[in-house]
Chains A and B, each alone.
Chain A
Amino acid sequence: AQSVTQLGSHVSVSEGALVLLRCNYSSSVPPYLFWYVQYPNQGLQLLLKYTSAATLVKGINGFEAEFKKSETSFHLTKPSAHMSDAAEYFCAAGTASKLTFGTGTRLQVTL
């Protein structure tokens, strides 16, 4: 069974600083990988997805993620954090109709 590990349940960065949220997956076959964002009292919104077409995936709102098979990782980055990026971020693996989620990382952005 697939599992997804997100290191760090809380990450705090200053506005303008680099955002790095970590995700590792456990699977003998690289699955499809996704990053979702959840704002308070809302559902999840897809940021980006990896489907084996390219290892560097660009998403919405300036986020991108790099798939590294040797490290079984799919870390999410954004060069410059904005206050509006404060939310909870979930890494997920599997097919779009059946996803296994990580436990989430709450991103705090400070002035």
Chain B
Amino acid sequence: KAGVTQTPRYLIKTRGQQVTLSCSPISGHRSVSWYQQTPGQGLQFLFEYFSETQRNKGNFPGRFSGRQFSNSRSEMNVSTLELGDSALYLCASSLSGKWDEQFFGPGTRLTVL
């Protein structure tokens, strides 16, 4: 069974640009969660999607948004990039969310210059 895949693995953008990251969950998984990992703030929850609906949301500004498609693939968008958005963005999938094991992808390393 293929694991969680994230594309691209590395991305370099400049301030003010926008970026879209993609996550393909494990086949059959309907819940996709996104996390931001930085040296200063650690791992922080961004949001979770289940059956194309945002089910949980962390404390991030509206510049961070996401969506989920009918095949459970998810995208995360960050608009008007800031230097502080440089981070490793991790996606995790699980069968239905709440009490199931989350499987993490390798992450997308975003660098904002």
A residues with CB within 8 A of B: 32, 36, 41-46, 49, 51, 90, 92, 95-104
B81 within 8 Å of A by Cβ? Answer: no
Whether the Cβ atoms of A97 and B90 lie closer than 8 Å is no
In the bound assembly, the distance between CA atoms of A44 and B33 in angstroms comes to 13
Closest to A36 in B: B104
Residues of B within 8 A of A100 (CB): 45
B residues with CB within 8 A of A: 4, 31, 33, 35, 42-45, 48, 50, 55-56, 58, 90, 92, 94, 97-107
Residues of B within 8 A of A43 (CB): 4, 90, 92, 104-107
Whether the Cβ atoms of A96 and B94 lie closer than 8 Å is yes
In the bound assembly, the distance between CA atoms of A42 and B98 in angstroms comes to 23
Chain A nearest CB from B38 CB (Å) reads 11
Question: Of B48, B102, B105, B106, which contacts A46 at CB under 8 A?
Answer: B102
Chain A nearest CB from B36 CB (Å) reads 11
Among A36, A95, A100: residue with most chain B CB under 10 A: A95
